[in-house]
Amino acid sequence: MKIGYIRVSTEEQNPARQQALLRELGVDEIFLDKASGKNTDRPELRRMLAYVRKGDTVIVESISRFARNTRDLLELIEQLTVKEVEFVSKKEAIDTTTPTGKFMLTVFAAVAELERAYILQRQREGIALAKAQGKYHGRAPLSLPDNFEAVVAQWRRGEITAREAMQRTGLKANTFYRRCRDVKY
């Protein structure tokens, strides 16, 4: 069975290009994650790894869609190998059923890891330059809901729990508690 795996980094990114390629290749099942590739903690990746069986082939558009660092890539490939599942990366023309394919996989994984490191380095340099020029001030703080102060007052009086206060304000725990420190009563 041909199993396709697709990953885009954000909800806004469009996976259509990867989907079209995998359809052309005749995959039977597609697993799609909208998450960063910085680690392997991705729900559809976990589902796909549990789903594949001996004799299946996992097909990806490129290695960078599967893993962003050498260690993660090699661990994922090892998991597939143990299950006797083949791996094919279309862009890099890698097929793990051959010794050359296994060697090339290691080389491309190192390149993908280096590429991610360069992206992060350029991002840090760009932010530092923008800060030095006074153009970057970080992310704008979330505006508080209109009911925030009233809900915090109820919470501080013990009338509602912190969880209930967070639900009413729509804030996550770290934001809620940080903003509570700013509100004096």
Question: Which are the catalytic amino acids?
Answer: 9
Among residues 58, 64, 60, 61, which one has the least CA distance to residue 108? 64
Provide the terminal-to-terminal Cα distance of the chain, rounded to the nearest Å: 63
Give the phi and the psi of residue 11 in degrees, each rounded to 5.
Answer: -60, -30
CB burial of residue 101 (10 Å; 0-12, 13-18, 19+)? middle
Enter the tokens of residue 99: 């010794």
